[in-house]
Amino acid sequence: MKIQLKYMLPAVALGLLLGFSSCGDDKDDVDTSISVIKDDQTPQNDLDKWLEKNYVEPYNIQLRYRWEDNEIDMNYILVPAAYQNAVRMAKLLKYICFDSFDEVTGSTDFIRKYFPKQVQLVGNPGWQSNGSYTLGSAEGGARIDLWYVNHLSDVVTVNWVPKDSVIADREELNKVYFHTIMHEFCHVFNQKVPFSTEFNQITGTKYLGGSWTSSFASETDPQIYASGFITAYASYSANEDFAECFATYICSTQEEYNSFLTKAGTTGKQTLMQKMDLVRTYFNDNWNLDLDEVRAAVQKREANLKSQNFNDITL
């Protein structure tokens, strides 16, 4: 089954994004000497060699960045990931995700055994007519698609003022990529070992299905937390709720997570804590995985983003 993770964006923001997309000289950022179209005869480049050493050999994972029509969702207008952005994503995924689990579990075996064997990169997000957009998908625990990879070339702005580059901003990286990655990774575990039905019953009558995109004022609407959901998308179903609990906890500092609990109020906070206790227990009992240790490892790396060079793939 294909699972897609979607986020809401105000229509005005969508219009601004589409309006600005034609501005500027596109040739500035395009290296025409590097092809993103797959050719069976294409020799290995530096990224291919780096991936062989850092993905295939230790983890048996294939990261695809070249364009293959039969591998890309044809329901959206999508573009390839630029070569340099593919380099950045490859290094970020290993640094924040793979290395964190390696540290906690003591070897590369955990990621090698459980992480999806294929990762497909796409340059842009998949826009929906209702203003939401798709950032990634997972198919049967065997593959993760990561979209909007070309965002790694951008600068994060706050009130139109430049804040930082995307690759150095942990909040942006989590929002666009790593929350999605952790969410989809969680589905892999749930497909192998279902979580307790006790989790389903906590907010069993409040799940909204497809109407979740129109049920809240924004992604940070306090009513989300007060209703016992850690994100708006968590209100879609129990399966998505469980994955959102996992992903949000791993990608949040303790201060950030406490702010969600505060917004939830007394009843909502109790519900969120009850859900998180079941998520912790599930991973500890079934996978011998301490989520507090995983989060500490991820947050340690995210705090050191500016000390890393995500453009260097020298072997």
DSSP 21: T
Q: Which amino acid is at 163?
A: K
Question: Residues near 6 by Cβ (< 8 Å), separated by ≥ 6?
Answer: 128, 132, 133, 134, 135, 213, 233
pLDDT score of 130: 67
Task: Look up residue 131 and give its two tokens.
Answer: 């203003």
> Tell me: the pLDDT tens digits for 260-290?
999 999 999 999 999 999 999 999 999 999 9
Query: What end-to-end distance do the CA atoms of the chain give, in Å?
Result: 37
**What are the domain boundaries of the chain?**
2-307
**Residues 70, 120: Cα–Cα separation, whole Å:** 12
CA angle 282, 185, 94 (to 5 degrees): 125
Is the predicted pLDDT of residue 22 greater than 50, yes or no? no
Query: What one-letter code names the amino acid at 86?
Result: A
Residue 116 CA to residue 185 CA, distance in Å, equals: 8
Fold of 2-307: Collagenase (Catalytic Domain) (3.40.390)
The three-state secondary structure class of 78 is coil
How far is 76 from 125, CA to CA, in rounded Å? 9
User: DSSP secondary-structure letter at 219?
Assistant: T
Contact by Cβ (8 Å): 308, 267? no
Q: pLDDT, tens digit, for every residue of 193-244?
A: 999 999 999 999 999 999 998 999 998 999 999 999 999 999 999 999 999 9
Extract the tokens encoding 251: 């990608």
Tell me the whole-structure pTM to 2 decimals.
0.85
Q: Which tokens go with 190?
A: 């749930």
Locus of tokens 């294409």? 42
Contact 3, 137 (CB under 8 A): yes
Res. 69 pLDDT band, cuts 50 70 90:
low
* DSSP track, 98-160: IHHHHHHHSSSHHHHHHS-SEEEE-SS-EE-TTS-EEEEEEETTTEEEE--GGGGGSEEEETT
